[in-house]
Amino acid sequence: MEGKVLKLEGNNMDIDFLAEKIENKEDFDLFLKSLKEDYDVNKAEWGNVTLADFLEALGVYSKEIEGYYKNMNIPFNKKNPSWKVFADILLGARIYE
């Protein structure tokens, strides 16, 4: 569905909702902006609030994302990951220990 950009209605700023709906780069760009806003508002809910902790979790979660997709029975193409995969890795790094 190229050309379609995710738009949020009202106050629906749920970051997980955004990640589920990513279909293109524009959606991913909106997701990144919203991820930063989520950090600003919900920092206490993030498990990795320092850059060092977040990057460490990002590296580990990136290696384990294929297993997550397999467990959730979601198709995964490691040779050509989608924008949604990158969003899922970023979401996982927020809380991964």
d(CA 42, CA 82): 26
- 7 domain-assigned: no
- 9 domain-assigned: no
pLDDT band at residue 14 under the 50/70/90 scheme: confident
Q: Which domain holds residue 66?
A: 22-95
Quick one: pLDDT at residue 2? 43
- 14 domain-assigned: no
Q: What is the mean pLDDT of the chain?
A: 88
- 6 domain-assigned: no
- 44 domain-assigned: yes
Total domain count, the chain = 1
- 64 domain-assigned: yes
- 10 domain-assigned: no
pLDDT band at residue 47 under the 50/70/90 scheme: very high
Enumerate the H helices of the chain as residue ranges. 15-20, 25-42, 51-71, 83-95
> Which two structure tokens, joined as six digits, stand for 96?
């991964």
- 4 domain-assigned: no
